């Protein structure tokens, strides 16, 4: 799970959510050693190791920096965007509608939602929860002209009520911020992801994608 590539994230003084372009380039070389598939086509298997790459929030650098490097190596990826960030045009670091269309048009790129306003879904009333899920999906479908079937829980915050609402809203799969490897028995509305941080060196990066950081899930708080 990534956020920004080369772009400082507001409020992230320690640079955890930003990967330098040089570090990302080295990470892509490592990723190219493995079988990478789109999240929608991951088909987790116990005997066939696969990797799916995701980005949260919809930073402009996902198009300008990440896409050229990943697609050069035929590595597909998913981006989970926040319609409120796109529509407001209040922050230059986030994709605007035209940029999102350009990103979505690239072979190997899929777009999902990150709720409508990037709020903690487990703290909302049933009505507001429904609006966050349904409005964000409809916004993407209207803008991109194709189904929006995946979503990422903002801040990794969800509970059984939220998961049920996600299913009812028409999503086929959803991803969390809990570290770990998914298998055939994984709940497709609670898929795990391991976060890649700005201070990860290549050794720790390789260990993370191999699942050797799964112990971290026990100490992990909500975030995304």
- Residues 48-104 have pLDDT tens digits of 789 999 999 999 999 999 999 999 999 999 999 999 999 987 778 999 999 999 999
Low-confidence ranges of the chain (pLDDT < 50): 44-46, 218, 221-224
Question: Distance (Å, rounded) from C-alpha 160 to C-alpha 164?
Answer: 6
Cα separation, 110 vs 162, in Å, equals 23
Crossing angle of helices 97-104 and 126-144, in 10° steps, is: 70
Reported CATH class of domain 4-219? alpha beta
Note the pLDDT of residue 46: 47
Q: Where are the domains of the chain?
A: 4-219
The CA-CA-CA angle for residues 83, 113, 186, to 5°, reads 165
Sequence-separated (6 or more) residues with CB below 8 Å from residue 137: 113, 148, 151, 169, 170, 171
Residues with Cβ < 8 Å from 111, sequence gap 6 or more?
Answer: 78, 79, 80, 81, 100, 103, 104, 140, 144, 148
């Amino acid at each position: 799970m990534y956020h920004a590539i080369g772009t400082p994230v507001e409020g992230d003084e320690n640079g955890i959510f930003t990967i330098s372009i040089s570090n990302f380039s080295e990470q892509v070389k490592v990723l190219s050693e493995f079988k990478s598939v789109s999240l929608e086509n991951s088909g987790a298997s116990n005997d066939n190791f696969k990797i799916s790459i995701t980005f949260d929030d919809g930073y402009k650098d996902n198009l300008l920096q990440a896409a050229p490097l990943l697609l050069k190596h035929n590595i597909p990826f998913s981006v989970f965007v926040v319609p409120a960030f796109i529509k407001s045009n209040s922050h230059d670091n986030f994709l605007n509608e035209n940029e999102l269309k350009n990103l979505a048009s690239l072979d190997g790129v899929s777009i999902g939602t990150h709720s409508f306003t990037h709020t903690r879904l487990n703290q909302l009333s049933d009505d507001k929860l429904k609006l966050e899920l349904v409005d964000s999906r409809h916004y993407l479908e209207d803008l991109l002209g194709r189904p929006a079937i995946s979503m990422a829980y903002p801040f990794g915050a969800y509970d059984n009520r939220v998961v049920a609402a996600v299913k009812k809203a028409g999503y086929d799969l959803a991803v969390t911020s809990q570290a770990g490897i998914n298998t055939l028995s994984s709940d497709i509305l609670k898929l795990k992801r391991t976060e890649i941080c700005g201070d990860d060196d290549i050794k720790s990066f390789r260990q993370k994608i191999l699942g050797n950081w799964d112990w971290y899930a026990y100490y992990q708080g909500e975030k995304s």
